[in-house]
Amino acid sequence: MTIDKQLPSTRTTELDSICLKAEVIPVITIERIEDAVPLARALVEGGLPVLEITLRTDCALEAIRRMREALPGASIGVGTVLTPAQYRQAEQIGADFVVTPGATEALYRYGVESSVPMLPGISTISELMTGWQYGYRRFKFFPAESSGGAKAIKSFGGPIPEARFCPTGGITVDNAEDYLKLPNVMCVGGSWLTPQALVEAEDWDGIRELARQAAERFHH
């Protein structure tokens, strides 16, 4: 196991500069390919320029390709990356970053070599320590609300104060601030900005308004 190899500092810097653009990252699952661009555009126009698109549907990669072409100013991450093969697909379509729900040794190893930065998912201090040994300093905390919530992240700050987190999983407009006020939280993510009912109704104005409210309420 490679445990002493440091992640190049530029990678942490790169993640920081992406996360500095928005305190809230919409986590998006595209069911219908034709929704991809108008949905992403509504979120970006509303003031949220960093998006995570999950690989949970067959059209996900094509959706990301179209979003990147239509919205070159947005930072588009590929989420729900479970294997190095999926990480490679994310690299090939020009993802700005990769997000994983949990982290395997294979993903940690692949991410150290990749030019696309990874936000590995962790939910315990032991998983955090493994990532730390590989050189990672920025993590997704998932599933946040059922893994101890803001209190858990606050506790991680005791032994490993340099680590920073993007919690997702159960975050809403009502509890986001509990996380964002912690010094080791850089941003939060969630699907609450893209409610299924609004997406199905193609209510892009409604989604733009949700994004606008989130961007206004939570900003650096």
Catalytic residues: 52, 140
Scanning 35-43, 152-160, 176-184, 188-196 for contacts with ligand 3PG by CB under 6 A, the matching segment is: 188-196
Scanning 2-10, 111-119, 166-174, 177-185 for contacts with ligand 3PG by CB under 6 A, the matching segment is: 166-174
Nearest approach, Cβ of 80 to ligand 3PG (angstroms)?
6
Per CB under 6 A, 139 contacts ligand 3PG: no
Out of 64, 119, 153, 171, the residue judged to bind ligand 3PG by CB under 6 A: 171
Which of the residues 4 through 23 are near ligand 3PG (CB under 6 A)?
Answer: none
Q: What b/e sequence results for 185-212 when a residue is b if at least 16 CB atoms lie within 10 Å of its CB, and e otherwise?
A: bbbbbbbbbbeeebbeeeebeebbebbb
First CA to last CA distance, the chain: 38
Nearest approach, Cβ of 10 to ligand 3PG (angstroms)?
25
- Residue 107 and residue 119: Cα distance in Å, rounded? 11
Within 10 A of 63 (CB to CB), how many other CB atoms are there? 27
Which residues on adjacent β-strands are paired with residue 42?
Answer: none
Query: Torsion angle of alpha carbons 204, 65, 110, 54, nearest 10°?
Result: 30
Rounded to a whole number of angstroms, the CA Rg of the chain reads 16
Scanning 6-14, 82-90, 152-160, 183-191 for contacts with ligand 3PG by CB under 6 A, the matching segment is: 183-191
Tokens matching residue 180: 């964002």
- Residue 116 and residue 120: Cα distance in Å, rounded? 12
Per CB under 6 A, 120 contacts ligand 3PG: no
Mask 99-118, x = binds ligand 3PG (CB under 6 A)?
A: --x-----------------
Residues making contact with ligand 3PG (CB under 6 A)? 27, 54, 79, 101, 142, 168-171, 189-192
